[in-house]
Structure 1
Amino acid sequence: MEYHNPVLPGTHPDPSVCRVGSTFYLATSSFEYFPGVPLYRSDNLVSWERVGHCFDRESQLDLRETDSSDGIYAPTLRHHNGTFYLVTTDVGGQGNVLLTADDPAGEWSEPTRLDAPGFDPDLFFDGDTAYLSYAHGPTLPETTIKQATVDLDTGAVGEPREIWRGIEGTFAEAPHLYEIDGTYYLLTAEGGTHVNHMVVAARSDSPTGPFEPCPSNPILSHRGHPMQPIKAAGHGDMVSAPDGSWWLIFLGIRQQGGHPGWHQLGRETFLAPVEWVDGWPVVNGGDLVTPQMTVDTLPGDDSEPDPAAPVQATRATFDGETLDPAFEYRRNPDDAAYSLTERPGSLTLRGRTDSLDDPGATFVGRRQAHFDCQIDTRVSFDPGEGAEAGLAVVADERHHYEVGVTRRDGTLVAIVRLRIGDATETVTERVDGSEHSLRVDATPEEYKLGYCDGDDYVVAATTSSKYLATEVTGAFTGVYVGPYATSGVEATSPAAVDSFVYDPARDV
């Protein structure tokens, strides 16, 4: 049976997985995006359905002052005695927090702050005792894994003790603890979350250690394989299936452009089988994990999984009461800036003085999950002087491309803006009318930004994708694409986004 990696393309880093009955649930990091911590459900670990978010209320998560690539780091999702638990770190905000839910697709609790420093928390239940393990150190990369008991009602944490320093003594993070047939296993990520990333394993007779390192560590790493299409493999979480098989969910990247390459889609979620040999986990038979995988069987029924990733086309006409769940905001949205009722059948955007160079821009987007894709939007907009609305490709405030419509010196123009660090380039061309069709064509190497002038599609600018990649931006997220609006110096009518289409090529 074949399946394709990544199983969750686009920015889905730091995956954590648990199983309840025959159903698997998965959560990933979300950083400055809101709602926070997307949740997925699957019967076979390959075809994932989005079921919601853990943080969907401002009372749970306030990201308004959060810097890019801060916010929600590395959740751990677990199920115990009928309750779902999620621990994660709100970097630059609440610190380590705990949320609970009876149904992961339903409402999650308000966060309980955990009285522990560090990041990448893990929650493990051993009888009546709950253990919190986390990465902590004076500075990166001098992090080790510490552990303490935790009171899940109050968030009080016992006296911490160090349980693991890592096999290289640096970047020990992302702990996950398991009990399997009376033996306690610890997985951690090491090497940093780029091309030196790896998963290491250790075991003990006690959940508190001491832990013996696996003689074959790292149990997963693609370091030292510059031509391998999947790189930075690490930050793994194991899960067993009802048939007794074991699997590892982990993050990786798909770099483009040769060596050293770049990845604009962010860190994605991958899947590999696990076997147990002499009491140790062996990932994919000790071989590298590849984009196309062949296994004897997958969990669930005997039907072939959909080879296409679940994050596929978005065709939004904005007829409902809520946005398509693929859409997320950069930080908490100002409700006054977005409306599905002001003009039924459209998403109304009210621009503010913040542009895409600023944290509070009016922008809502979905992950770019395919290197080859086409994004189209139709916007009804009669801007005042300096007001602008259109379609943006965003990595962060210092790295974004957009094609939009604005008015300059009384003239209606189409505008393309390329913001790359400290440099900004703009292109303007005169247009007419109040309805505007805008488009971005993406390939692995470039973006083409354009607009429709009558019946003709005009490519106004072509630019490299590498300038939105982590290797340039330093960001922890991948690219998002979606509509935006900014205000001008004169009063202006809002922009009405009448449609948004994300159409992927099947490159995963």
Structure 2
Amino acid sequence: MERFDKMLNREFGPGLFISVMRLFLSLLFSFCVFSSNSQQLVLPGDHPDPSVVKIGNEYWSVGTTSNWFPAFPLYRSNDLVNWKPAGHVFTKMPAWADYYLWAPEISYDNGKVYLYYTGHKKGGNLCVAAAVADKPDGPYTDLGPLMCQDDGSIDPFPMRDEHGKLYLIWKEDGNSVGKPTPIWAAEMKEDRTALVGEKQELFRGDASWEKGLVEGVSIIKQNDYYYAFYAAAACCGKSCTYGTGIARAKNLLGPWEKYPGNPVMSASAEWKCPGHGTTVEKDGRHYFLYHAYSTITGAYGGRQGLLNEFEFTPDGWVRFLNGNNYGKLTATEKIEEHFSSQTLADNWHWSIFQHVQYSMANNTLKLAALPAPGAYIGQSVLADNYSAEVTVQKGSTAQAGLALIGDDKNILYAAVDSNMIRLIQVKKGEVQVLAEEKLTHYSDLTIRAQVKNNTQVTFTYSGEGTTFNLLNTIAADISYLPPWDRAVRIGLVSKGPIEKAAFFKNFILVNEPTGNRQLTINNNLKILGVPETK
């Protein structure tokens, strides 16, 4: 500290010493406060709207896929912290829906597993629906839509009232057309095939911080009260303003009152826009599994799954404990896919609008081609700096390459096409070749992408896997990629007539996470002109 004092005196002069020290202590205090309010990451990557239920001795979770497919990835855990993939709810689209598969809610009742979800109805709008299975990993039988309002119905949640009657809670999606967003409840048949009786409003977005929008309701009964954990304001993307609120009522149908201190969770130094989750109990303690954006990876990394313990206060409300020591999370810094099984791993997804066909044999993936923008498959990125590579085999008859994917109209990829390699940008459906090189004397070709700060990517390629040649001398900008409700994926593309195909070996993704805490320290020290710590 003495050396630090002398440096400050030398750099700033004695007259500014006290002011600079006050600034340093203020920033240090701010950092400590933010650290104490951090929550624990348990589902890294793009896992919006996580739902959780305990079945037997295990916990099961599921999350939104939106316009990625297969739909609704399932995870299982013994400790709520480390989760293992366990398949998907739907590997075929429900017959009534065409896209926007959102907000799955998993529950267990009378020996059956029920999945409530949102989908866009063919020729209609958003509806809430249900599916059922005998065990949590399926198979699931779709039961069809339960409610389809003109303005859309989303975010279903089941709950029994004080008399044991089964109800469905959901949100009317009025905000999509500039209208209010009431939360509704209606009695539901025990077989989950229909709602009965009249719907009744529970509450709506009428507090200033809610910005006219409430959604993602999860309800728990404790002592004399029902407690609704709900999300409010703008859920998604770079300009999100989401937060979490609490409301309570002595009867399920109300009247409901909102906590005067809402929001109970909002942005912190490490996480922003927290909300839309489900409560769960473990060893007599209560937890909330929900999503938030990392302040480092933001919309590029997507809404990630967090865990936060809460308790019930003496005055009958809820207080979050904001801990980050619920267990040790096993980090995933390197993912290797050698295509050695018969099916792709659960972390691969593709567009809900594409009929993607593939097969695997001899440690090789055959990905059938599709016309523009091509057949593509991808998986979540887990850091702001990462690299990926794949080997394209000489026998590929389609354009074959490595892709950074937003959606069907926003992709950037480097692909081999005959004796050329090209860097191709698809932005709002417009195609532009950013770079190209002629290939000579190569058999298989390894393509590598290096991403920095979420947004800048450089591609290189190699014929023998050791010496890599630069494809684009100026880093390509991928800040345009993430859709409003999803994150960037990195993966593979096969483009061409449907009878063509691309052949791939050895996909490797290396995430280079930057610690949020270290970044905060370094940013604070930079203000003072102090060298960064390591």
Q: 2:249 aligns with which of 204, 214, 238?
A: 204
Shift of the 305–137 alpha-carbon distance from structure 1 to 2, 3 Å rule, reads: closer
| Aligned twin of 1:463 | 476
Counterpart in the other structure of 1:338: 358
1:41, distance to aligned residue in structure 2 (A): 1.3
Q: Deviations over 1:451-488 (max 9, x none)?
A: 1144421232322342224xxx4x21101111111116
* 1:244 match: 284
Establish whether residue 438 from structure 1 lines up as the match of residue 459 from structure 2.
Answer: no
Distance in 2 (CA, whole Å) between partners of 1:53 and 1:496 is: 26
Pick from 351, 372, 379: which aligns with 2:392? 379
Q: In structure 1, give the amino acid aligned to 2:101.
A: I
TM-score normalized by the length of structure 1:
0.83
Question: 1:53 and 2:95 equivalent?
Answer: no
Q: Does 1:163 align with 2:202?
A: yes
Q: Is the contact between residue 82 and residue 102 of structure 1 (CA under 8 Å) also seen in structure 2?
A: yes
Change (3 A) 1:420 1:494: closer
Alignment of 1:173-192 (within 5 A): 173-192=215-234
Residues 61 and 9 of structure 1, relative CA distance in 2, 3 Å threshold: farther
Residue deviations 1:117-140, cap 9 Å, x none?
311111113464211111115443
Contact 1:132 1:147 (8 Å CA) reproduced: yes
Q: What is aligned with 1:281?
A: 318
Offset of 1:89 from its aligned partner?
0.5
Measured in 2, the distance between the counterparts of 1:389 and 1:62 equals 31
Deviations 1:195-240 (A, max 9, x none): 3211111111111111121122111112xx6xx2311112232211
Which amino acid is the alignment partner of residue 394 of structure 1? Answer: I
Q: Find the aligned partners of 2:129 and 2:499 in 1 and give their Cα distance.
A: 42
Give the CA deviation at 1:157.
Answer: 3.9
Q: Hey, what does 2:171 align to over in structure 1?
A: 135
SS in 1 for 2:485: coil
Structure 1: segments with no counterpart, 5+ residues? 299-303
Q: Which residue of 1 aligns with 2:274?
A: 233
Give 1:383 shift: 5.5
Of 436, 448, 469, the residue aligned with 1:428 is 436
Q: Does 1:263 find its partner at 2:299? A: yes
Q: Which amino acid aligns with 1:483?
A: L
Higher mean displacement: 175-184 or 414-423: 414-423
**Does the alignment pair 1:80 with 2:87?**
no
Q: Indicate which of 398, 404, 407 corresponds to 1:393.
A: 404
Task: Identify the residue that residue 214 of structure 1 maps to in structure 2.
Answer: 259
Distance 1:172 1:214, change over 3 A: same
Judge conservation of contact 2:97–2:121 (CA < 8 Å) in 1. Answer: no
Question: Which residue pairs with 2:382 in the alignment?
Answer: 369
**Rounded Cα–Cα distance in structure 1 between residues aligned with 2:173 and 2:509:** 42
Contact 1:4 1:307 in 2 (8 A): no
- Shift in Å, 1:111: 3.4
Query: Which amino acid counterpart does residue 444 of structure 1 have in structure 2?
Result: N
SS for the counterpart of 1:203 is: strand
Equivalent pair of 1:15/1:249 in contact (CA under 8 Å): yes
Give, in whole Å, the separation in 1 of the partners of 2:174 and 2:59: 36
Residue 49 (structure 1) shift: 0.9
Aligned residues: 456
Give distance in 2, aligned partners of 1:493 and 1:163: 55
Cα offsets for 1:323-349 (capped at 9, x unmatched): 1121122116536x3122xx5321112
Q: Note if contact 1:24-1:41 (Cα within 8 Å) is conserved in structure 2.
A: yes
Q: Aligned partner of 1:368: which letter?
A: V
Question: For residue 199 of structure 1, what is the amino acid of its counterpart?
Answer: T
Aligned with 2:507: secondary structure?
strand
Pick closer, same or farther for the CA change 1:334–1:268 going to 2, 3 Å.
same
Larger fraction in helix: 2
Q: 1:325 aligns with which of 343, 346, 350?
A: 346
Secondary structure in structure 2 of the residue aligned to 1:206 = coil
**Bigger shift: 442-451 or 35-44?**
442-451
Match of 1:301 in 2: none
Matched letter for residue 6 of structure 1: L
Distance 1:211 1:234 in 2: 20
Contact 1:378 1:499 in 2 (8 A): yes
Q: How far off its partner does 1:4 sit?
A: 7.3
Assess if the C-alpha contact under 8 Å between 1:402 and 1:449 holds in 2.
no
Q: What is the percent sequence identity of the aligned residues?
A: 23
Structure 1 residues 443, 179: CA separation in 2 closer, same or farther (over 3 Å shift)? same
Q: Which amino acid in the other structure matches residue 57 of structure 1?
A: K
| Alignment partner, residue 125 of structure 1 | 160
Which ranges of 4 or more aligned residues in structure 1 deviate by more than 6 Å?
none
Q: Which has the larger radius of gyration?
A: 2
Other-structure match for 2:67: 32
Comparing both chains, which one has the higher relative contact order based on Cα–Cα distances under 8 Å and sequence gaps of 6 or more? 1
- For 1:268, give the aligned amino acid: Q
Cα distance in 2 between the residues matched to 1:352 and 1:215: 54
Query: In structure 1, how many angstroms separate the alpha carbons of the residues matched to 2:411 and 2:41?
Result: 25
CA contact (8 A) 2:165 2:187 kept: yes
Deviation at 1:499, TM superposition (A): 2.1
Q: Displacement, 1:160? A: 0.8
* 1:31-51, Cα deviation, whole Å (9 max, x unpaired): 111110111111222111111
Q: Which residue of structure 1 lines up, in the alignment, with residue 526 of structure 2?
A: none
2:493 matched residue in structure 1: 484
TM-score normalized with structure 2 length = 0.79
CA distance in 1, matches of 2:324, 2:46: 24
Q: Is residue 447 from structure 1 mapped to residue 457 from structure 2 by the alignment?
A: yes
Say whether the 8 Å CA contact 1:55–1:61 is kept in structure 2: no
Q: Is the 8 A contact 1:382 1:493 kept in 2?
A: no
Q: State whether residues 115 and 157 of structure 1, in contact with CA within 8 Å, keep that contact through their aligned partners in structure 2.
A: no
Query: Structure 1 residues 269, 294: closer, same or farther in 2, change over 3 A?
Result: closer
Runs of at least 5 residues in structure 2 that lack an aligned partner in the other structure: 1-35, 516-534
Residue number among 303, 326, 331 corresponding to 1:308 in the alignment: 331
Give the Cα–Cα distance (whole angstroms) in 2 for the partners of residues 244 and 234 of structure 1.
Answer: 23
